Amino acid sequence: MIRFQNQLQEMTADELVAALDEIAALDLPIESQASLEQAIIGVLAKKDPELALNRFKDRLNDNRGLTGWMLSEAMKEWCKKDTGAATAWLDQQIAGGKLDSKSLDGRNHTRSMFEGQVIGALLANDPEAASARLATLPETQRQEAMRIVSTPLKEEQQADYANMIREHLPEDDRNETLAQVASQIVASKDYAGVSSYMERISATPEERTAIVTEAATDKLGSVAFNEKITKEQGGQMRDWALSNSANDANKITGKALAQVAGRSNQNNSFEEVSAFAVQYHEASGNDEVMVSFLENSYDPSKKAQHRELAEKISDPQRREQILKRFK
């Protein structure tokens, strides 16, 4: 496979197209043909993205394999070279019906990917044009397009990105979309990077809660996947949540621990993770940590343990509500 990839890298764009013609003439099974084509498309997209897109413009709505995603990557490469020409080409394909939706809800995953690449390129140089482009999309496709824009998102683009989210996305999608950026940041820059992100975008209290929840849950989950969570790691997550979203820190703590407890891995047992929930529940002086932990955690094999934890909730009404989940 390495030799094959090296050979593709050494071929010219014209030679790659010729290879595609040969593959098309072989009458291969669909899966085999798609696998070979995708290997070549990935290389051709880097060498000559315009050629790759024109070659496969009749298959933009082809959902087989990774073809749509790889062509959207070709769009990204073309935008780097000539955003105007790439955008004009995309508009031509849309006008010609090449990216019409085939689903009942009107969504088109491939178009969202392409639009995301164009909007991302515009955001880097002309935020107003990027915003105007996003506004032309159906509301049902804006969130998915902006997810593409955010992968990755440079620090100097974060404020403009957030303003576009606030202006053009439906209310129910805004906080979730802003929080997804935090998921990427915490993976590489830890909690401090997320704090800086919230400052750059002047996050509202509601946005901060969504962002801190996403970052805390993802970071603790990532740690738990690779190793046993330590007291220090749990405390770091909780302290950061308290300093960045004090009013909701207990709920965030409970949810983050519940996500870890719900994952099947050999590093952290339910009993070990729930011990953290008990510790923070007792330290908090209220029921929020435990309620949140139990509302977001469910394992049919652990009903007895869940009920035992629920008995620690001091509010009778909330305790009864939680106990009903684990009958």
**pLDDT (0 to 100) of residue 175:** 97
Taking residues 251-265, report their average pLDDT: 88
List the structure tokens of 262. 């719900």
**pLDDT (0 to 100) of residue 267:** 85
Buried/exposed 97-125: b ≥16 CB within 10 Å, e otherwise: ebbebeeeeeebbbbbbbbbbbbbbbbbe
Taking residues 115-122, report their average pLDDT: 96
Could you read off the pLDDT of 202-234 as tens digits, one per residue?
A: 999 999 999 999 999 999 999 998 899 999 999
Could you read off the pLDDT of 168-207 as tens digits, one per residue?
A: 999 999 999 999 999 999 988 899 999 999 999 999 999 9
Is residue 152 very low, low, confident or very high in pLDDT (cuts 50, 70, 90)? Answer: confident
Direct distance between the N- and C-terminal alpha carbons of the chain, in angstroms, rounded to an integer: 53
Decide: 227 and 267 in contact? Cβ < 8 Å: yes
Residue 130: pLDDT above 80? yes
**pLDDT (0 to 100) of residue 151:** 85
Please provide residue 314's backbone torsions phi and psi, each rounded to the nearest 5 degrees.
Answer: -80, -30
**pLDDT (0 to 100) of residue 194:** 97
Taking residues 42-65, report their average pLDDT: 87
The pTM of this model reads 0.88
Contacts of 291 (CB under 8 A, 6+ apart): 251, 254, 313, 318, 322
Is residue 105 very low, low, confident or very high in pLDDT (cuts 50, 70, 90)? Answer: low
4-9 LR contacts (CB < 8 Å, sep 24+):
4/39, 5/39, 5/43, 8/39, 8/40, 8/43, 9/43
Contacts of 40 (CB under 8 A, 6+ apart): 8, 16, 19, 20, 23
